[in-house]
Amino acid sequence: MGSFATRLFREVERLEITVITDNYSDALRPDTAIGRRYRTAPGASIHAEHGLSYFVRTRTDQGAFTFMLDYGLDGKGVLNNMRLLNIDAARLDALALSHGHFDHWGGLLDILKEHRPAMAGRTRLYVGKEAFAHRYARPPEKGELRDLGSLDRGAVEALRIDIEEIDGPMEIIPGAYLTGAIERSTEYEQVPAVFLVERGGKLEHDEFPGELACAFIVKDEGLVVLSGCAHAGIVNTVRHAERMTGATHLHGLIGGFHLVNAPPELIEATVAGIRAMGPDYVVPAHCTGFEATVRLREEMGSRFLLNTAGTTYVFGR
């Protein structure tokens, strides 16, 4: 895959990323320099789960635009959070899915069934290769094959959603770019053999060739990268985004880094890789794992922010 440095990428004046749901909730943690947390009240409790969902708003010289990336696991829980966070899915300009695991697409059909009638015209869902493939896992400690299911493409299309599969970088709303297939450049970031995908009636190692992340260039601040699970490797993901945009400064890194249950040497190599990229803010979420999150806090100091479900991060003016 060649260099993307010659591409022209639109800057955003302001970027807001709301974590609709994530693995962790804490109503008492203080806000941060860039993060405003949801405050639980009687009868208005935020839902946390083993799932991830984002609502993103960009503001450019063309106006304000919104999209969702990933949809969590529990549709009822995600819809509850959307109501509490005043997120109106009927006004979305686009939808995107990072990859085909159930904790990222699980709530999609419930969200669409509730909000699709109010959406104007056709709405587009952007996906990567094999987003609808049937996936499995075989944990090494048990050896039992676990069926992870698949997103029903027909059910999505029946709700008048246009599906577009992408391979290369694409701007889906002004200032918001999907990476396309992520180039693998590190030696240490390898997809574990536990992940399997069905191809042609056979189970094969799933290396997530169609996994997507999002990239934004915030005016006067730099690159912000938003990941789903980063099975391709979070360092690979950021490097790809840097080549794609030509950005020279990593301002923010948010998302799942997929280091849960990873061996210590992989965690150390990844933490060192992130530190070397010099981000202003690092916000690990979802599948990053406790051990890796602790190591990032130790190494990144005040640049580390602990994510909680319902938090909105604001970059730019």
DSSP output for 170-190: EEEETTEEE--SPPP--SS--
Residue pLDDT tens, the chain, 317 long: 334 443 578 999 999 999 999 999 998 999 999 999 999 999 999 999 999 999 999 999 999 999 999 999 999 999 999 999 999 888 899 999 999 999 999 999 999 999 888 887 778 999 999 999 999 999 877 678 999 999 999 999 999 999 999 999 999 999 999 999 999 999 999 999 999 999 999 999 999 999 999 999 999 999 999 999 999 999 999 999 999 999 999 999 999 999 999 999 999 999 999 999 999 999 999 999 999 999 999 999 999 999 999 999 999 98
Instruction: Give the CA dihedral 188, 267, 312, 4, nearest 10 degrees.
Output: -20
Task: Indicate the burial class of 50 (C-beta count within 10 angstroms; 0-12, 13-18, 19 or more).
Answer: middle
What tokens were used for 159? 């709700």
Angstrom distance (rounded) from CA 30 to CA 218: 25
Distance between CA 281 and CA 204 in Å, rounded?
37
Record the pTM.
0.95
Domains in the chain with CATH codes: 11-310 (3.60.15.10)
